[in-house]
Amino acid sequence: MMYHSRLALALYLLCAAAPAMAQGTFAGKVVTILIPSNPGGGIDAYSRLLARHIGRHIPGQPNVTVQNAPGAGGLRALNMLVGKPPHDGTVILNVNSGNVIHELMGEPGMDVSLKKLNWLGDMSQSNPVDLTWPHSKIKTLEDAKNNVTRVGATGVGSSPAQIAWAFNALAGTKYHVILGYTGAGEYDLAIQRGELDGRNVTSYTSYMAGVPEDVRPKINLLAQLGVRKDPNVPEHVPLLLDLVKGDPKKEAASRLLALAFASINRPFAVSPSVPPERVALLRQAFADTMRDPAFVGEAERMHADLSPTSGEQLEAYVNEALSFPPDIVEILKEALREPKP
């Protein structure tokens, strides 16, 4: 009896101590969010937004700072995460979503497969849309199939270029990609000058927030990219998946494209070496932050899209994207390439 009493007491004390131990896990620590880009831009803005709030929800309420680590399309920051200690959950990476395509393509430079990361969650799963401005003669998707539609991109490896070419290959559009712009601001100026018809791969909510109210109803929405329709986008705007129905291989390639470019959008992860119990605490902290009224309020003031995905769901998306059969990956590879003259 005495032995059982002592055992019961020991178990009770252990269980009672567990919450307290969890509360102190990160006490006195500094948590760093690694940003795979220069200051400014969407990746940086979302990372800093998270940094300002997640510390309140991590056990021990550590200080949270950010570190910009641009280079190699996000690979420098990724390799820093897995190669440089500590691996205790105090370094969190905003993973460049383009790294999914990089791994799919079998490109060199990655020190770890994305499948091995411990995913905490994704801040925004909003579908990117293709749109044209009122003065463009391209008013509908059918127009974009029958006429050249000019869109801008920074280079051949950028998302606007690759996705425009993928739409051409999979859905039969005639996007003409003009390369050499520095980014979103230059795209918009070029649209106003009549050099471009519109934008592709752009967030509907964020973009419309910057458009004058009297112009918003006149914007032509052609299509959206995602695994499911975005509730913020008007219902009539079709998914790429809708446009390729009936062709199983194109359907599979379109789903893979949607997973890589829309479902994995603003993702955060920690090193594969972080202990599971700490991963669980950080996943919960991420989820709690997404519901924090102060965080949500600041996001709204920034016109930031918030449609969070749990760490578990994000992990499933990453694993699915990186598990497609080689023939489907090859179809997508070909679709993303710059077309030959």
User: Which has the closest alpha carbon to 96: 120, 116, 71?
Assistant: 71
Angle of CA points 161, 306, 29, to nearest 5°? 105
pLDDT for the residue numbered 230: 92
CB 40 within 8 A of CB 86: no
- CATH code at 128-247: 3.40.190.10
pLDDT for the residue numbered 20: 45
Is it true that 18-125+265-307 and 128-247 share their CATH fold?
Answer: yes
What tens digit of pLDDT does each residue of 292-329 get?
999 999 999 998 889 899 999 999 999 999 999 999 99
What tens digit of pLDDT does each residue of 251-275 get?
999 999 999 888 898 999 999 999 9
Domain boundaries, the chain: 18-125+265-307, 128-247
Domain 18-125+265-307: CATH superfamily, name plus number: Bordetella uptake gene, domain 1 (3.40.190.150)
pLDDT for the residue numbered 24: 67
What tens digit of pLDDT does each residue of 204-248 get?
887 888 899 999 999 999 999 999 999 999 999 999 999 999 999
pTM equals 0.83
pLDDT for the residue numbered 79: 96
pLDDT for the residue numbered 23: 63
Tokens representing residue 94 in the block: 């905003």
242: which residues sit within 8 A by CB, 6+ positions away?
none
Would you call 176 exposed, middle or buried from its count of C-beta atoms within 10 A (0-12, 13-18, 19+)? middle
